[in-house]
Amino acid sequence: MTDTTASHVESATVQLNEDWVAAIIGIAVFVLALLGLSGVDLLGWAVKSKIWTDPAQSLAPFGKSYAWLGGLPSLVLTYLALLAVLSAAAAVIKANVSRFAVTFTAVFWIAYLAWNLGGYAHFAAETPAELTKYGVTWSLHLTAEGGYILALIAGLLIANFFPGVAAWLDEAIRPDLYVKIAIVLLGGAIGITVAGKLNLASAVFVRSLAAIVEAYLIYWPVVYFIARKYFGFSREAAAPLASGISICGVAAAIATGGAIRARSQVAVLVASLVVVFAVIELFLLPFLASTFLAHEPLVAASWIGLAVKTDGAAVAAGGITEALINAKNVAAGVHYQPGWILGTTTTIKVFIDVFIGVWAFVLAHIWTTYINPNTPGGKAKASEIWDRFPKFILGFVLTFALGLAAALTLKGQAPALKAVADETTIFRVIFFVLTFFSIGVLSNFRRLWADGLGKLAAVYIVSLFGFVIWVGLFISWLFFHGVKPPLVS
Amino acid sequence: MAQIDLKAEVHGAEAEPLLPIEKKLIGISLGLGIGLLAILIVVNALGLL
C-alpha cells in the first residue's frame, strides 16, 4: 500500500468537509455559468482543448467573447483560477496550503499536458470526415477523451517508476475531491440535458433503483460470504472488502470500516486495492463496452456504473465509454445526443452512494449489538446515517434542480442553455483529468504486491470478474435494453 | 501514518467461523435483494417503469 493512499484515506475518515467543499465549488461554478443566460459570460476565459495537428492551435478560450485572449494565456488563467479556489479548499479541509499550491501546480501541468497530448489528431480523430479535416491518414480513434487515458498513464508512470515524485505530489493527489466537484458540475449539465426528455430521464432514474438493490443486497452478501468462507478473512477485513467491491469503492470501504469500528488501516488497505483495480477496469471496460454494446448505449452506461468501483473511476469510465460509443455510432450514421451515457452512469453511481449511510448504519447496528457489543466505539446511533451520508450529493441534486428549472423555464433559449452546459463541461473535464492523473499516482502496483495483498486481490478478482461484472451486465441488459438516448435533432 | 504489518494482517488472521448473525445477514440481504429485483423485473416487463 502507498503512503499517499494511506494518508488521504485516513484523513478522509475525519474530514468530511471535503464533501461540503466539493459541493460549494461545484455549485458556485455552475451558478456562474448560469449567469451566462443573462448575457454576461463570466467563465468564458476557461481553456478549451481541441483536436490538433499543430500544438499552437490546440488551445483556445471557451467563450467567443474571450477569443482575443489566446490559448496559452487562457490556460494560465484557468490554472491560476483553479489554484486559488482549490488552495482555499485545501485550507478548509486543513491541508498544508503552501505545499498544496506547489504540488497542485505540478499536478495540473502534467495532467493537462497529458490531456492535451490526447487531442493529437493521430490519437483522437474519430471519423473519416475528421481525418480529412485534420489532414491525417490514420488515427487510433481514441476520441478526444483518450487524453484521460494518457493522464492516467502519466500518473501510473510516476507512481511505479518515480515513487519519490509520487510521494512529493501527495498533498495535491486528491481524486475524491476532484471527482466530487466534477459530479456536482455534472448534475447541472444533466439537468439541462434531460429537460427535453423527461420521460426518458425518469425511466433512467427508476431503472437505477435496480442498481441499489444489486449493489447492497446481491453483491455485498455474496462477496462477504466468499471472503469469510473461502478465503478465511476476519470480519474486520471482510466487511470493508465487501463494501469496497460491491458498493462504491473507497468511500464505502471507509464508511463500513468506521461502522463496524474496524481499525482505520484495514479500510485503508481495502481502499488501496480498490483504486488499483479501478485502474484495470478503466483500461478494459470502456473499450469492451464500445466493442460489444455500442448498439445498446444505456446498457453500457449502466454496466459501467455497476462494474467500475470508486466514483471517480466509474464516472470517468462513463465519459470514455460515451465518447467511444458515440463515435462508433456517428461512423454508422447514428448521432446520439451527448450526455446521456455519462449521465446514466453518474445517476447510477449517485443512487448507490445515497444509501452508503443507511447500509453503514445497518452494519454498525449488527456489529455493535450482536457481534462485538463491547466495541470501544460504542453502540450505533441513527445519527451515523447522516454522518456517513456523502454530502456532495446534495450539491449534485441542487445543480441538477437548477439546470432542470432553467431549461424548463427558458425553453426558447436552447443555444444559451447549451452554452451553459458546455461551459460547465469545460471545468468538469479538467476535474476529470485531475482525477485520472491522481488515481494513476495512487496506484503503485509493485508496492501493493510487496505488501502482501495477493490474497485480498484474489477475492477481488474472483468477485469482480467472477460475478460482479456479469451480474451487472445481465441486470443492465434486463432494465436498459432497447432504451436509447435521443438522437440529435 | 504508521504502516500496519499487512502480511500478518491478511495472512495471519485467526480463523473466525461464521456466526449465526452473519449467516442471517447474508441470507436476509440476498433473499431481500433477489425478491426486490424480481419485483422490479416484473414491473419493468409490464411496462410500468
**DSSP secondary structure string for all residues of A441-486:** HT--HHHHHHTT-HHHHHHHHHHIIIIIHHHHHHHHHHHHTT--PP
Residue of chain A nearest B19, judged by CA positions: A371
- CB contact A128 to B (< 8 Å): no
Q: How much is the pLDDT for B11? A: 55
CB contacts, 8 Å: B44 with chain A: 207, 478-479
Write the pLDDT tens digit of every residue in A401-443. 999 999 999 888 888 998 999 999 999 999 989 998 998 998 8
Amino acid at A316: A
Residue of chain A nearest B13, judged by CA positions: A234
Q: Interface pTM (ipTM) of the complex?
A: 0.88
Determine, for residues B1 and A371 on separate chains, whether the beta-carbon distance falls below 8 Å.
no
Give me the residues paired with residue A49 across strands: A59
List the single residue in A10, A210, A217 with the smallest CB-CB distance to B29.
A217
Residue of chain B nearest A8, judged by CA positions: B1
Write the pLDDT tens digit of every residue in A289-328. 999 999 999 999 999 999 988 888 888 899 899 999 998 9
Residue A243 to chain B, least CA–CA distance (Å): 13
Q: How much is the pLDDT for A452? A: 59
Residue A362 sits at the vertex; the CA angle it makes with A358 and A363, to the nearest 5 degrees, is 120
Answer yes or no: are the C-beta atoms of A344 and A298 closer than 8 Å.
yes
CA distance A50 to A62: 10
**Is the confidence at residue B42, as pLDDT, over 70?**
yes
Between B26 and A237, the more confident residue is B26
Would you list the DSSP string of A152-196?
Answer: HHHHHHHHHH-HHHHHHHGGG--HHHHHHHHHHHHHHHHHHHHGG
- CB contact B42 to A (< 8 Å): no
**Is the confidence at residue A6, as pLDDT, over 50?**
no
CB contacts, 8 Å: B6 with chain A: 1, 269, 451-453
Answer yes or no: are the C-beta atoms of A281 and A308 closer than 8 Å.
yes
Overall size of chain B counted in residues = 49
CA distance A58 to A51: 6
Write the pLDDT tens digit of every residue in A138-177. 888 777 788 888 999 999 999 999 999 999 999 999 988 9
CA distances from A399 to A190, A289, A403, A421 (A): 9, 29, 6, 11
Would you list the DSSP string of A379-445?
Answer: S--THHHHHTS-THHHHHHHHHHHHHHHHHH-TT-HHHHHHHHHHHHHHHHHHHHHHHHHHHHT--H
Residue A212 to chain B, least CA–CA distance (Å): 9
Describe the crossing of helices A414-441 and A264-292 by its angle, rounded to 10 degrees: 130
Q: How much is the pLDDT for A377? A: 64
Q: Which three cell numbers stand for residue B4?
A: 500496519
CB contacts, 8 Å: A221 with chain B: 25-27, 29-30, 33
Under DSSP, the state recorded for A355 is T
- CB contact B46 to A (< 8 Å): no
CB contacts, 8 Å: A366 with chain B: 21, 25
Determine, for residues A228 and B16 on separate chains, whether the beta-carbon distance falls below 8 Å.
yes
CA distance A365 to A111: 43
Residue of chain B nearest A219, judged by CA positions: B30
Determine, for residues B29 and A233 on separate chains, whether the beta-carbon distance falls below 8 Å.
no
Place of cell 473511476: A313
Answer yes or no: are the C-beta atoms of A244 and A227 closer than 8 Å.
no
CA distance A337 to A298: 12
Q: How much is the pLDDT for A13? A: 45
Residue of chain B nearest A204, judged by CA positions: B49
Residue of chain B nearest A478, judged by CA positions: B41
Write the pLDDT tens digit of every residue in A225-260. 999 999 888 888 899 999 988 987 777 888 888 888
Between A58 and A382, the more confident residue is A58
CA distance A168 to B37: 47
Residue A342 sits at the vertex; the CA angle it makes with B36 and A294, to the nearest 5 degrees, is 90
Q: How much is the pLDDT for A14? A: 40
CA distance A250 to A179: 13
The alpha carbons of chain A give a radius of gyration, in whole angstroms, of: 22
Residue A212 belongs to what H/E stretch?
helix A198-213
- Selected residues 173-232 of chain A with any CB under 8 Å from a CB in chain B: 203, 206-207, 209-210, 213-214, 216-218, 220-222, 224-225, 228-229, 232
Write the pLDDT tens digit of every residue in A78-111. 999 999 999 999 999 989 999 999 999 999 999 9
Amino acid at A9: V
Q: How much is the pLDDT for B10? A: 55
CA distance A279 to A443: 8
The alpha carbons of chain B give a radius of gyration, in whole angstroms, of: 20
CA distance A276 to A272: 7
Residue of chain A nearest B33, judged by CA positions: A217
What are the start-end ranges of the H helices in A293-378? 297-307, 311-331, 340-354, 356-366
CB contacts, 8 Å: B38 with chain A: none
Percentage with pLDDT > 90 across chain A: 46
Residue A49 belongs to what H/E stretch?
strand A47-49
CA distances from A430 to A114, A316, A365, A437 (A): 12, 11, 41, 11
Q: Which three cell numbers stand for residue A162?
A: 518515480
Q: How confident is the model at residue A356 (pLDDT cuts 50, 70, 90)?
A: confident
Q: How much is the pLDDT for A81? A: 98
Determine, for residues B40 and A209 on separate chains, whether the beta-carbon distance falls below 8 Å.
yes
Residue A203 to chain B, least CA–CA distance (Å): 6
Q: How much is the pLDDT for A220? A: 95
Q: Which three cell numbers stand for residue A397?
A: 441534486
CA distance B21 to A308: 30
Determine, for residues A479 and B16 on separate chains, whether the beta-carbon distance falls below 8 Å.
no
Q: How much is the pLDDT for A12? A: 47
Determine, for residues B44 and A479 on separate chains, whether the beta-carbon distance falls below 8 Å.
yes
Determine, for residues A370 and B19 on separate chains, whether the beta-carbon distance falls below 8 Å.
yes
Under DSSP, the state recorded for A120 is B
- Selected residues 277-296 of chain A with any CB under 8 Å from a CB in chain B: none
Q: How much is the pLDDT for B20? A: 94
